[in-house]
Chain A
């Protein structure tokens, strides 16, 4: 196994198998993955900070087996920050916190192409920072249908004085975030609210939307997965790569752009590649930064 040593912020890191082709049909190697995350670091790190990372590792690349790793691997360097979080059975588990570039490089060296994080920070696991609507198209529906639903959500929230933000999932769906950033918020509230919203949309757009988890109910419709608003669930982090054929990322879009994309009607145009992600953030900065800071209160609860 080939090894390369790098020093980041005074910390020594041993990188292995940099030439490993992780996206074989695109010749995108582990070195490319590390380069992407270095260049997007400034944008992604605030969104990973203090959150219990779930690693989704693809040691043999995207075409081979993957595995989820919630526990922070015990062979971690001493400088990797960790937190103890309770499991369902009450037993604590040590998780990684990716708070700096060196830790991000270390998890990417483990081929953790996808970075999944909870909606709450590790220090306050019962306080969601935002409410999320995970729009997942069933068979026969596509991202254009998701865009229609996302725009309805935006128009529903705006009279409630709730700003919302949208990103691509990097797969087939869209994620709409409503930042909250208040210590008083609970998952019970975000779940109650998001479920009520999902049921209203299902009632008013029965051919477009379903709020039901059952696969059979989703055919030709967009499933609004409101149940993601839970302390035990994780979302793909904004700017994370996805493990599909092409190195595509979960990327934030302005509402205007989503409107344009919805009008153009080409699902492919929603795919933001790693290169596009880097060049776009260089121009616009992090379109999702307000998700971390904007304080909003859910009304009528």
Chain B
């Protein structure tokens, strides 16, 4: 698997060479947008409604909207000037108990793969963290963004999960109903009915049904009917480089004569 990043993971005196790879592959089925008349795949263009024209890429800039119709333009260079330096290491600053982390903080999972020379310390770290259910917290720059990440152990491997910053988490204060008294009997009834439905977490049990049905549908359609074909875009007037076309025309005349 292609690495997204490579460097070291370290804390105190330990430094393990590792590579970051993705841990999930979303099974989303995507579609191309086609022109219904001739099945040409469609392209997105930027359009200026005021001038009623398509805008070429070199005329497009970014602006931050501070009020309706009021923007602060910002250049690529300015954006780059505030981007953090690319990380060489995932430096663990604290170890925490995983139980303390509300899953709402979990953003995106990756795996760490040990690189040459790091296998032994990698195994040791993964095993100890796994046994104690501890996770290391680190700051880490990936694709120009600084993330808070949790490094934890998953079945003998080290996994990295980017965490949301606390200011990104929307408060549940307004969502939780105001405190009030609940009868003990209702509580115990609820507890009991939950208990009867207790099961082990077995993610394989819950398949993405829409995806399966969609794949089934696509398979059936592929068998029933040949796929539609996009036309090849060809400029009729332009036959090719002038010299080449002239040379070919010349030979063609001779070929036809000799036949």
CB atoms of B239 and A196 under 8 A apart? yes
Question: For the complex, is A197 an interface residue (Cβ under 8 Å from B)?
Answer: yes
CB atoms of B240 and A215 under 8 A apart? no
CB atoms of A92 and B232 under 8 A apart? no
Counting contact residues on chain B (CB < 8 A from A), the size range is 20 to 34
CB atoms of B232 and A301 under 8 A apart? no
Can you name the residue of chain A whose Cβ is closest to the Cβ of B249? Answer: A200
Main secondary structure of the interface of B (DSSP, over half): helix
Known: A156-B255, A192-B241, A196-B240. A213 touches B232 (CB 8 A): yes
Can you name the residue of chain B whose Cβ is closest to the Cβ of A214? Answer: B231
Contact with B along A58-84 (1 / 0, CB 8 A): 000000010000000000000000001
Known: A155-B255, A213-B231, A227-B232. A301 touches B241 (CB 8 A): yes
Known: A159-B254, A197-B248. A192 touches B231 (CB 8 A): no
Counting contact residues on chain A (CB < 8 A from B), the size range is 20 to 34
Known: A199-B240, A200-B252, A213-B229. A160 touches B2 (CB 8 A): no
Question: For the complex, is B170 an interface residue (Cβ under 8 Å from A)?
Answer: no
CB atoms of A193 and B255 under 8 A apart? no
CB atoms of B244 and A300 under 8 A apart? yes
Question: For the complex, is A297 an interface residue (Cβ under 8 Å from B)?
Answer: no
Residues of A within 8 A of B241 (CB): 192, 196, 300-301
Question: For the complex, is B245 an interface residue (Cβ under 8 Å from A)?
Answer: yes
Can you name the residue of chain A whose Cβ is closest to the Cβ of B245? Answer: A196
CB atoms of A196 and B244 under 8 A apart? yes
Can you name the residue of chain A whose Cβ is closest to the Cβ of B228? Answer: A215
Question: For the complex, is B187 an interface residue (Cβ under 8 Å from A)?
Answer: no
Report how far A159 CA is from B252 CA in the complex, Å: 10
Question: For the complex, is B60 an interface residue (Cβ under 8 Å from A)?
Answer: no
CB atoms of B234 and A212 under 8 A apart? yes
Q: How far is the CB of A158 from chain B (nearest CB, A)?
A: 9
Residues of B within 8 A of A2 (CB): none
Residues of A within 8 A of B258 (CB): 155
Residues of B within 8 A of A211 (CB): 234
Q: How far is the CB of B138 from chain A (nearest CB, A)?
A: 26
Residues of A within 8 A of B234 (CB): 195, 211-212
Question: For the complex, is A152 an interface residue (Cβ under 8 Å from B)?
Answer: yes
CB atoms of B240 and A195 under 8 A apart? yes
Report how far A200 CA is from B246 CA in the complex, Å: 10
Question: For the complex, is A10 an interface residue (Cβ under 8 Å from B)?
Answer: no
The B200-259 residues at the A interface (CB cut-off 8 A) are: 223, 229, 231-232, 234, 239-241, 243-249, 251-252, 254-256, 258
Report how far A196 CA is from B239 CA in the complex, Å: 5
CB atoms of B239 and A160 under 8 A apart? no
Residues of B within 8 A of A155 (CB): 251, 255, 258
Residues of A within 8 A of B223 (CB): 65
Can you name the residue of chain A whose Cβ is closest to the Cβ of B229? Answer: A213
Report how far A174 CA is from B46 CA in the complex, Å: 44
Report how far A214 CA is from B228 CA in the complex, Å: 10
Question: For the complex, is A204 an interface residue (Cβ under 8 Å from B)?
Answer: yes
Question: For the complex, is A299 an interface residue (Cβ under 8 Å from B)?
Answer: yes
CB atoms of A156 and B248 under 8 A apart? yes
- Most chain-B Cβ atoms within 10 A of its Cβ — which of A193, A200, A213? A200
CB atoms of A299 and B240 under 8 A apart? no
Residues of B within 8 A of A212 (CB): 231-232, 234
Report how far A65 CA is from B2 CA in the complex, Å: 32
Residues of B within 8 A of A156 (CB): 248, 251-252, 255
Report how far A193 CA is from B2 CA in the complex, Å: 36
Report how far A301 CA is from B248 CA in the complex, Å: 12
Q: How far is the CB of A71 from chain B (nearest CB, A)?
A: 12
CB atoms of B231 and A299 under 8 A apart? no
Given contacts A84-B2, A204-B252, 16 further A-B contacts (CB under 8 A): A65-B223, A92-B2, A155-B255, A156-B255, A159-B251, A160-B251, A196-B241, A196-B245, A197-B248, A199-B239, A200-B249, A200-B252, A212-B231, A212-B234, A213-B232, A215-B229
The chain A residues found within 8 Å of chain B, CB to CB, are: 65, 84, 91-92, 152, 155-156, 159-160, 192-193, 195-197, 199-200, 204, 211-215, 227, 299-301
Can you pick out 8 interface pairs between chain A and chain B where the beta carbons lie within 8 Å of each other? A159-B251, A159-B254, A196-B248, A211-B234, A212-B232, A299-B244, A300-B247, A301-B244
